[in-house]
A = this chain, B = another copy of it.
């Protein structure tokens, strides 16, 4: 059985460290923790005479903070669970503190099975990556790992985000492949795209494996190529901005609008809270879309909208500022999916 560990002593310490005792705390949890983990935090606050308020929209990550909601509700502080501290907090009028509480999953990895799979693949040096829930778990003093002939390497602690594969690209040239330990395919699939190294996904919740290989990457790239070619015929562009406090790249939006206008194209900014791609199909006169926030909305969800939807790095190919060859062979540090892509 899997369960989630919340460090209540850390919560207690955080609350005691506030200069003034808070009256209202806004809680934000990822979807998997909305049952008893959330209720135990709610009870913890009520016992301390602090009113819990729940931010009930789905949270897409550490960047996706409900700052407007906190301000509307007269909240003192925000407690965000399940992610580590986000390095780039957005500018905001919310004056309270934002505290991040990673939630650990108590689950063992089947290292024997993992090593068997890697031996079959013939990899000697493996880049090890995982999501925040598991970061503390794969210590290299593990006996099974030490007795194998496989070398595991990491950049920093090897934590990956859905939108950024830096910790993979930084070591890609020195590994035969990547092992990604994560539930589902979401975090693993962009690694092969960004690094051009085969990527084995191990899902510790159901102990299954999936290999993302060169064929997967080629299929991905051919789909992107087709969308880019289609978008070259577009004259009316929509630039999608998110009104979510943590995902509002106003400056990036303006730069993209200017890129399009300089080429004589019509470009209109579209602002929306939850980016609802099927709804955008109602804007019939728009020929192509650019996403300024999470690039995976374009790369994973493009089938949910009829017109081409591209990342800003792909827009650079459309506008002739980047060749297809440059696009598919990024320089060190650059890659296809990052939010810090071509601007």
Q: Is the CB of A56 within 8 A of B284?
A: no
Of B250, B271, B282, B285, the residue contacting A31 (CB under 8 A) is: B282
Residue of B nearest to A52 (CB): B268
Bound complex: CA A160 to CA B57 (Å): 30
**Identical chains in the assembly:** 2
Task: Flag whether A276 is at the interface (Cβ < 8 A).
Answer: yes
Please name 18 further chain A to chain B contacts, defined as beta carbons within 8 Å, in addition to the given A66-B243, A73-B269, sorted by A numbering.
Answer: A26-B271, A31-B279, A34-B284, A35-B282, A35-B285, A38-B283, A39-B285, A53-B269, A53-B270, A57-B272, A57-B273, A57-B274, A57-B276, A66-B271, A72-B248, A73-B241, A273-B273, A273-B274
Q: Which of A36, A66, A243 has most chain B Cβ within 10 Å? A: A243
Q: Is A131 located at the chain interface by the 8 A CB criterion? A: no
Q: List 23 A-B contacts (CB under 8 A).
A: A26-B271, A35-B282, A35-B284, A35-B285, A36-B284, A39-B285, A52-B268, A53-B268, A53-B269, A54-B269, A54-B271, A54-B283, A55-B270, A56-B271, A57-B272, A57-B273, A57-B279, A58-B279, A68-B68, A68-B243, A69-B273, A72-B248, A273-B273
Does A69 lie within 8 Å of B243, measured CB to CB? yes
Most B Cβ at <10 Å: residue of A35, A250, A268, A269: A268
> Which chain B residues border A272 with CB–CB below 8 Å?
55-57
Contacts of A279 in B (CB 8 A): 31, 56-58
> Chain A 262-290 against B: per-residue CB contact (8 Å), 1 yes, 0 no?
00001011111110100110111100000
Q: Given known contacts A69-B243, A273-B274, is B268 in contact with A54 (CB within 8 Å)?
A: yes
Interface flags for A30-71 (1: CB within 8 Å of B; 0: not) read: 010011101100100010000011111110000000101100
> Per a CB cutoff under 8 Å, which of B55, B273, B276 touches A271?
B55
Does A240 reach chain B (CB closer than 8 Å)? yes
The docked-state distance in angstroms from the alpha carbon of A238 to that of B54 is 9
A241 to B66, CA, bound (A): 14
- The answer to whether A285 touches B38, judged by C-beta atoms less than 8 angstroms apart, is yes
- Selected from B34, B54, B269, B283, the residue in CB contact (under 8 A) with A34 is B283
The complex places the Cα of A271 from the Cα of B274 at a distance, in Å, of 15
Question: Within the assembled complex, what's the spacing in Å between the Cα atoms of A272 and B59?
Answer: 11
Shortest CB distance A263–B (Å): 16
Q: How far is B73's CA from A100's CA once the two chains are assembled, in angstroms?
A: 28
Residues from chain B with Cβ under 8 Å of A52 in the complex: 268
Residues of B close to A283: CB separation below 8 A: 34-35, 38, 54, 56
Chain B proximity of A75: nearest CB distance (Å): 9
